Amino acid sequence: MARLSTLLRTACLCTAVIACNVASAVPLWEIEGTSNRIRLLGSVHFLRAEDYPLPPAIYDAYREADIIVMELALDKILPTDVLRVQQQLAVDPDGRGLSELVNAGTFRKVRSLAAAIDIDLNPLQPFEPWFAALQITQLRLQQLGFNGSYGIDAMLTRKAGTDGKPLLGLETLGEQFLALDTLSAAAQQQFLLQTLEDASSISNDLENIVQAWRQGDIAILNNLLLKGLDEQAEVYEQILIQRNRRWVQTIIDFTNNSQDYLIIVGALHLIGEDSVPNMLDDAGIRTRRIN
């Protein structure tokens, strides 16, 4: 299946973070004060063949874990599962198409922006705006040479299967899609429009992110990766804050186990005020950045 990021800007703006291949820059945290070892790794969902080999710290964290945890347990998701959830959530129950779900003025902008980057909206006509935005993200990244099969999630899923390591998911595909499907009509339209506006300038942003990552400048990374989300409060709440809160509860449960975990989530979930590490700290679970 196509690897979809539930936070569009994570997929778009984190794709080149690992490309610099600086081991000390790996976005990796460890939970302190537990009898087991739990690490949090910021994932890049889309990469290129030339971005390999990845920094050794990623492989070290994987090797030392008994259980691998991701946003989704990708090894357990079948193509039929994707089609079923897509039909249930990504298609308007009243049969309206994309051009009917987006107001005329916004759709004209959407169509113009899509045409400017050679993306055909016709195949996306059956879907709701949030799902169209996800597909546009994937198409744009592919245009720039990035592919989900090279992403950290996909690579470690394959490796865990070969090594026989258990793989768990923090949420189901339905839960991940539902976070976007429950956005209001206005928020979905803005999400789609912002996605296309970002897509047109993403190649420039990627270079800025790589440079900030090389310098270890978390302040600049926060600014780049969170840019524009202050204008999409509902999106930020639904697909970042709420999901982080649910994940934190599961991660806290892991602290009571004896096995060691490597938890892999989109890098955007690990930075900023509302990050998973900050929420864990607020809950009395100490975390520290590993350099």
* Gap between the Cα atoms of 191 and 59, Å rounded: 35
Check residue 214 and give its pLDDT: 44
CB 67 within 8 A of CB 260: yes
- Residue written as token pair 């639904």: 238
Check residue 209 and give its pLDDT: 66
Check residue 88 and give its pLDDT: 96
Q: Which residues of the chain have pLDDT under 70?
A: 1-25, 206-218, 221, 228, 230
* Gap between the Cα atoms of 62 and 104, Å rounded: 49
Q: Tell me the C-alpha to C-alpha distance, in Å, between residue 188 and each of 11, 134, 158, 183.
A: 17, 11, 33, 6
Check residue 162 and give its pLDDT: 97
Task: Give me 117's structure tokens.
Answer: 């980057």
Q: First CA to last CA across the chain, in angstroms?
A: 33
Check residue 207 and give its pLDDT: 62
Check residue 212 and give its pLDDT: 60
At 147, give phi and psi (nearest 5°).
-145, 140
- Residue written as token pair 């930075």: 271
Q: At what angle do helices 129-143 and 173-181 cross, to 10 degrees?
A: 110
